[in-house]
Amino acid sequence: MSDRPSPRPAAPRDGPTLPAGTVFAGTYEVVRLIAVGGMGQVYEARNRWTQRHVALKVLPTGIAGDDASRRRFAREARLSARLVHRHVVRILDMGTDAAGSLFMVHELVQGETLEACQRRQGRLELRTALRIFVPIMDALALAHDHGIVHRDVKPANILLAQKADDYIVPLLTDFGLAISVKDGSDSRITLAGTLVGTPKYMSPELVQARPDVDARTDVWSVAVSLYEVVTGQLPFRGRSALELMLDILRQPVEPPSSLLPRLPAEFDAAILRALSRKPADRFATMREFRQVLKAIDTSRSEPPVANLRAQDEARRLDRALAAAPALQGDSIRDTIGSSAAVLPALHAMAKKRPLRIGVVQVRSVPPGAAIDDAFTMALGFRCDVLRYFTHAELVDAIVDGDVEFACLPPVAFARARQTGAARLLMVIERDGSAMYSSALLARASAVSRLADIRGRRAAWVDPWSAAGYMVPRWMLRAAGFSPDADLGSQGFLGSYEAVREALRAGTADVGASYCTVAAAGSFLHKPWSDEDGLRVLAVSEPFPGDTICARGDLSQELEKFVVSALGNPSKAAPVLQAFGATRLLPGDPSAYRMLEKAMAADAPGSIQPDSHSGER
């Protein structure tokens, strides 16, 4: 689901929606309503344990009492959970709440549907359309390998996910109408006497409700969707549902080039074959259809869009789709097996694609070209730095294999390490220290000692900040306080500067900041001044700051090569300059034990969205 602002959803037919702040099923805190449809309500929600924002799909008790709806809802979750593919929206959880409402949890996607994109932008150039559909067809081929037929492929069920600020990944969603051929799931298209599906994308066998529907129905639906996206028109244009279904069964299909003459003949042939009324005359598999489309030369397929603004938007979309990481298959782990093979293998790999390094879009990270060039110069081969909006998305990118290396702050690294997705390589030293402490601060005029914090207003940085949120709450617990029960209120301001300003202005009484402390306890560096009127209530033991991590399944030989290169001050100089660092030092995972304890002890509370601050 998109987390972009959307029009107010229509009022649900089956009971009231959940207000913001509602904790659903003991875990998911509702942020806002995203959509209401025939299969319930979809919310943006926050997992109070992991702090991850998700799409929460709820089938209220009124609908959940219908056995057919429950079966369909459960089937969607079961079939979707069987598909682990980077172009399929992931199912994260499913269950029932105390009231008996079924729920399903998806990853929350920032972006828009292909349908919305086409409505806003108009038809897409063939090259751009194939950048979207070829990966979706790869996902469908995997589904078919598992005996799963989607049956509702259409632009509204393809999401253009803005995974980072410079690339877009197409995702397939909504397996609510899917069937499993292998487990004999019901293949009827009617539930409670209602047509289920979208008629204009239905294959003839679906229209006729035939019992022998198989994966070739998805071949048909992909062809209809691709025809519409490229030409701006549907191949079947009946004015009513009945007229449309009759057209699907009888009307000859016009070649796409009859609408756009410069479309290649190979595209015409592929679409017309995929739209054969007899399944036996279509491509036998989605993989075969995909390979034919991939082989089409799109360089001279059609003229650019006439409108300059639309042309710029079309180019932006095409660049963002082209910049997405390629599917696995050129694994560095498989390529590099020994230290002697590292450099030749890396150079061979770099001819196919750059090494990918993930960062979060923050103020401390320089513009894209500068940091790309910095890593390329330091390591000696092509590097692409992929920039993500949040630390949660970057951790997901490591899990998904979208990046080989990542720059993570301590909390994000600890979360990635807990799943086995990341290994620590180096820590970034700034201001002469790679270790930082958290200082629990108070407005001196309001709080004179730690015992005075009860009932006071606290301002934190964000939930992914170690020194600005996680560790100070740990210090409060160590002193015998419950941060959620004893503080009067808590809020997130997104940066240390904003927290200090709130303390100075009196809009908050308690906050926290990073600092560096000498062995004797004196401050080596603190970002607040004596004139700020702040009192230090407690200081934590030190922990490392920002890290450079490797994906958990990479070869150790590759890791050693990268550590050696970045540990050399002359080679690493461009990276050091880019990050404002003095050195990159080998990391010690045991230095995170205190932070890991603090994270484990932090019970679910009022947690706000992951900000982009990238604070320590």
90: three-class secondary structure by DSSP: coil
Cα 287 vs. chain centroid, distance in angstroms? 26
Count Cβ atoms below 10 Å from residue 326 Cβ, excluding itself: 11
For residues 336 and 327, give the distance between their C-alpha atoms in angstroms, rounded to a whole number. Answer: 18
- Can you tell me the distance from the alpha carbon of 437 to that of 464, in angstroms, rounded to the nearest whole number? 15
Beta-carbon-side half-sphere exposure of residue 407 (alpha carbons within 13 Å): 26
Query: Is residue 496 within 8 Å of 461, Cβ to Cβ?
Result: yes
C-alpha to C-alpha distance for 554 and 562, rounded to whole angstroms: 12
- Say whether 281 is catalytic: no
Nearest residue to 389 (alpha-carbon basis) of 615, 612, 614, 616: 612
What CA–CA distance (Å, rounded) separates 406 from 291?
A: 33
Question: Rg for the chain (alpha carbons), in Å?
Answer: 27
Q: 348 near 321, Cβ under 8 Å?
A: no
State which amino acid sits at residue 261. Answer: P
Phi, psi of 200 (to 5 degrees): -70, -15
SS (H, E, C) 207-237: HCCCCCCCCHHHHHHHHHHHHHHHHCCCCCC
Residue 119 CB-density burial (10 A; 0-12 exposed, 13-18 middle, 19+ buried): exposed
* Given the residues 93, 97, 145, 152, the one annotated as active site: 152
Q: Which two tokens stand for residue 328?
A: 């696995």
Question: Angle CA(148)–CA(149)–CA(153) in degrees, nearest 5?
Answer: 135
- Report the 10 Å Cβ neighbour count for 458: 26
Name residues whose C-beta falls within 8 Å of residue 55's C-beta, 6 or more positions apart in sequence. Answer: 1, 34, 42, 43, 44, 45, 105, 106, 107, 108, 109
Active site residues: 152
